[in-house]
Amino acid sequence: MILNCMIVDDDEMSRLLVSKFVKETDFLNLSHVLEDTLEAQNILINEKHNDVDLVFLDIEMPEMSGLELAKKLQNTYPIIFITSKKDYAIEAFEGDVLDYLVKPIEYPRFVKAATKAKEHREKELLLAEQEDHIFVKSDSRFVRIPYQDLFFVEALADYVIFNTVKGKFIVHHTMKGIEKRLPISMFSRVHRSYIINRSKINQIEDFNISITDKIIPIGASYKEEFLKRINML
């Protein structure tokens, strides 16, 4: 399992150090390094199809603090706070973040926090594997969709479309949120805009997947993980 990480810190040395630690940790991948919370907010809230799994967020930031950004994110993303003040620890945990790191950060403590994030994600995946269906709110009703009836999920602006045996259901949600709810034993994220049921694949040609009459591209950043999960000779 690889977690895509965003680092948000206005201190250059801190950004460089955390970036180094991420690169030295085999289950982490560095996807964003930012120096202000407003840019981070734009990606995490407004770009509905980003691939961030974990945020390392400095608390003491100009314009908008890390605590303020965390409140805006409303627990959508797991957060590990970075701070130079131990006094922030209590407030950080009241905000339901995973952990906090006090500067100067040492690698063993960093790995402990990152491992907690990995275990958190593994727990989410385990819970998803225990179900065989998902309920989605479409219009004013909740629709039960058995996983075996779901072909693929497609992003559409601030919505996602569940393409199923019984038709399409449009839901106000994010791809990141849906990906967390579906079992990886059956489903794969193959593109920023697509999650597919691997059992529904008709064929794969030139890194395009055919499901029913739909041709779905495989994104470069998803290709390696997807190929690991299909039974190929």
Picking from 87, 113, 128, the residue at the C-terminal end of a domain is 128
Check whether 94 has a pLDDT greater than 80.
no
Helix 12-23 with 107-129: angle, nearest 10 deg: 60
From 45-59, 152-166, 212-226, the region with the lowest mean pLDDT: 45-59
Percent of the chain whose pLDDT exceeds 70: 93
The per-residue pLDDT for 95 is: 56
Q: Are residues 13 and 106 in the same domain?
A: yes
- Give the CATH number for residue 37: 3.40.50.2300
Residue 143 to residues 186, 196, 206, 212, Cα–Cα distance (Å): 20, 19, 35, 22
70 in a domain, yes or no?
yes
189 or 140, higher pLDDT: 189
Q: Are residues 76 and 189 in the same domain?
A: no
Q: Are residues 153 and 80 in the same domain?
A: no
Check whether 99 has a pLDDT greater than 70.
yes
Domain assignment of residue 29, given as a range? 3-128
Q: Are residues 123 and 153 in the same domain?
A: no
Q: Are residues 12 and 26 in the same domain?
A: yes
Q: Which residues pair with 143 in a beta bridge?
A: 136
Q: Are residues 144 and 201 in the same domain?
A: yes
233 in a domain, yes or no?
no
3: nearest Cα among 77, 99, 84: 77
Q: Are residues 85 and 154 in the same domain?
A: no
CB 208 within 8 A of CB 218: yes
Compute how many other C-beta atoms are within 10 angstroms of the C-beta atom of residue 106: 13
Q: Are residues 79 and 188 in the same domain?
A: no
Q: What is the pLDDT of residues 39-59, one digit of tens each?
A: 999 888 766 556 789 999 999
Domain count, the chain: 2
The per-residue pLDDT for 49 is: 54
Q: Are residues 96 and 138 in the same domain?
A: no
The per-residue pLDDT for 51 is: 78
